[in-house]
Structure 1
Amino acid sequence: MLSRSINIAFVLLSIIGIILSSYLTYETLTATFNTGYCNINSYVNCGTVASSPYSRFFGIPVAILGLAWFALMLGLWMIKKEVTIYPWIIGVMFVGYLIYTEVELIHAICIYCTTAHIIALVMGYFVLKVSRL
């Protein structure tokens, strides 16, 4: 049986991911990233990332995919923790793609996106702890 603190930590990480992804979705859909305080310089620039052609994956804003993923992870954690390994692996592979895209193709990073990526990676600690693979 998992300790209460592990459950609380995973749920909090999921909720923070949902909040971040919701904010990113709003900014992406309203195209307001170009004026935000996230645009620190030419490399740390959310506007550059959000307005790039890579901000959509097969026409779907990446932020919406992140929002759906964090919600899925939270839902699965509440229902059957052991199966979270499968969407986590897919999510981490996608995070790898997104990091590559930001660094190598866009030549800019988004602080909010990077924070969501880190949260997804940290969630893996808990997912691996409950996985029976």
Structure 2
Amino acid sequence: MGYWSPSRLAHLSSAILSAVGLPLSIYLVSPGDLPQFCEIGSRFSCGTVIHSEYSRFMGIPIAYLGAVWFGAALALSLAAVAGLRVGNILLYWSVLGVLGALALLLVEIFIIGSICLLCSFAHAAGAGVFAAAYLARLWSQPPITSG
């Protein structure tokens, strides 16, 4: 198989997390019947969040935007695994995703008053993409030597 550097393994992790987040986001665009663990009273209700007025941005479902984000993150991650120098682009893209997920979480908590567990899984996958992209960047830097 050959040697895989730590940064390449981090990019592979980013690809795996993106591959998890992509179908989850696609499902959230039009979920149909929600799993039972999604509806745990009023504080944890995917239905409340998904059907709220805040589930769309300029008429586009937020989950669709998440699917596009995960698709791009997957493509960038796979390109980085293949050796293309796109690690910085992936890192900046993942920062946008984390900021978006944080904004959505704040809307869920403070405006809607309910948390969507499936959305939170997607947010966690996005945070994992950021962490992997950050570690890949960190591990790809030459070591600091004193001299």
2: CA distance between counterparts of 1:36 and 1:6?
A: 31
Which structure 1 residue ranges, 5 or more long, are not aligned? none
Tell me which of the two structures has the higher relative contact order, counting C-alpha pairs closer than 8 angstroms and 6 or more residues apart. 2
1:51, distance to aligned residue in structure 2 (A): 0.7
| One-letter identity of the residue aligned with 1:2 | S
CA contact (8 A) 1:82 1:130 kept: no
2: CA distance between counterparts of 1:65 and 1:7?
A: 22
Q: Give the structure 2 partner of residue 83 of structure 1.
A: 89
CA contact (8 A) 2:12 2:77 kept: no
Q: Does 1:51 align with 2:47?
A: no
Q: Give the structure 2 partner of residue 2 of structure 1.
A: 5
> What whole-Å deviation, never above 9, does each CA across 1:7-63 have from its counterpart, x for those lacking one?
432221111101211111131xxxx35x64211211110110011000001111010
Question: Structure 2-normalised TM-score?
Answer: 0.78
By percentage of residues, which structure has more helix?
1
2: CA distance between counterparts of 1:36 and 1:15?
A: 21
1:92, distance to aligned residue in structure 2 (A): 1.1
Count of residue pairs the alignment pairs up = 128
1:88, distance to aligned residue in structure 2 (A): 1.1
Which structure 2 residue ranges, 5 or more long, are not aligned? 80-85, 142-147
CA contact (8 A) 2:11 2:133 kept: no
| One-letter identity of the residue aligned with 1:130 | A
Q: Give the structure 2 partner of residue 19 of structure 1.
A: 23
Q: Give the structure 1 partner of residue 145 of structure 2.
A: none
Q: Give the structure 2 partner of residue 102 of structure 1.
A: 108
> What whole-Å deviation, never above 9, does each CA across 1:66-111 have from its counterpart, x for those lacking one?
0000010111122222310121111111111101000000000111
CA contact (8 A) 1:83 1:131 kept: no
1:115, distance to aligned residue in structure 2 (A): 0.7
Q: Which has the larger radius of gyration?
A: 2
Identity percentage of aligned residues: 32
Change over 3 Å in CA distance of 1:127–1:48 after alignment to 2: same
Question: Structure 1-normalised TM-score?
Answer: 0.86
* Of 109, 113, 137, the match for 1:131: 137
Structure 1 stretches of 4+ moved >3 Å: 1-5
Question: How much is the aligned-residue C-alpha RMSD, in angstroms?
Answer: 2.0
